[in-house]
Amino acid sequence: MMLKLLALVSLLPAWTMMVSAHTVYARQYDTAPTTDAGGGDHGFQAPGPNDARGPCPGLNTLANHGYLPRDGKNITIPIVLQAVLDGFNVGPDVVTLAAKGALMAAETPDFFNLTEIALHETFEHDISLSREDFHVDPNNDNIHFNETVFTTLANSNPGVDYYNATSAGQVQKERQDIQNAVNAQLINNVKDFKIRTRESGLYLAVMGNVTAGVATKAPKNFVQILFREERLPIAEGWKKNDMLITVDVLDPIEVEIERFSEWQPSGVQPNPWIRLGPDGAIDPLTANRI
């Protein structure tokens, strides 16, 4: 039946045109790959020069292990939800909004590549734990890992070998103070703060053992390998959480992070606006359009 239909389509020029006009909607992957290209078990492979990677160390890591397409391209919301579940045991309630944000930042209507997420002020935000702000010289590089930026997190919670919700909050505060001083075009609104806090909660929960709740400890070497190498520290002893990481699981951890962040809005755009696409205005009031 399907073959007959296809034969019919090829006989009708108008239909053929319609089909080719829709190839932009075709996708390379219908679901996230469950094994890597070699049929292996999600081994680490550093990205090649044509692979897309972006500002999110967690998603880059999932691509480096073949939970996301290793080329970092043609990612859909179902693919990202499946990958985050399989790789990190993080539930869809935690990432759906961010995945939708990734689509808003993309050129294509229903898939994105990992670099596109870097569109400033859709979900990408200032005061990252591991990337410089979009407007900070000399490199204006909000995509690649930066060791200087990462120093704050790397050196936090001195005297013990783990990070936790208290130290994660202190790191957010310290990063906020640093970027307030160096970025004249800083954007630090409540939307960005909530996204940053979710990200901090995630590195603690995913690298730690969340059965401990607010007392969750994430071994420092695991977290550092995740950020610096975008690799799962399996050889070093890391295991995926047995417990599904949901918003409810993250909530007490995030409350503690927020408490120690001592957050205050600052910068040039205090409104919690989400930029709606590559042509979207950061400030629709000034631009008089969305």
The residues binding ligand NAG (CB under 6 A) are 26-28, 50, 52, 73-74, 107-108, 113, 115-116, 132, 136, 138-139, 141, 146, 148-149, 157, 160, 164-167, 209, 211, 214-215, 239, 241-242, 256
Report the nearest approach of ligand NAG to the CB of residue 141 (Å): 5
Cβ-based neighbour number of residue 252 at 10 Å: 15
Residues 6+ apart with CB under 8 A from 56: 114, 117
Burial class (CB in 10 A: 0-12, 13-18, 19+), 261: buried
| Residue 181 to residue 200: CA distance in whole angstroms | 22
Report the nearest approach of ligand NAG to the CB of residue 43 (Å): 20
Report the nearest approach of ligand NAG to the CB of residue 272 (Å): 25
Report the nearest approach of ligand NAG to the CB of residue 287 (Å): 22
Report the nearest approach of ligand NAG to the CB of residue 78 (Å): 14
Cβ proximity to ligand NAG: between 73 and 220 the closer is: 73
Cβ proximity to ligand NAG: between 251 and 272 the closer is: 251
Q: Which residue shows structure tokens 């890591």?
A: 61
Q: Which two tokens stand for residue 102?
A: 């990734």
Helix H, strand E, coil C: the string for 120-154 is ECCCECCCCCCCCCCCCCCCCCCCCCCHHHHHHHH
Q: Which two tokens stand for residue 1?
A: 């039946």
Cβ proximity to ligand NAG: between 31 and 271 the closer is: 31
Cβ proximity to ligand NAG: between 94 and 206 the closer is: 206
Cβ proximity to ligand NAG: between 47 and 265 the closer is: 47
Question: HSE of 258 in the Cβ direction (CA atoms, 13 Å)?
Answer: 14
Cβ proximity to ligand NAG: between 12 and 160 the closer is: 160
Report the nearest approach of ligand NAG to the CB of residue 161 (Å): 10
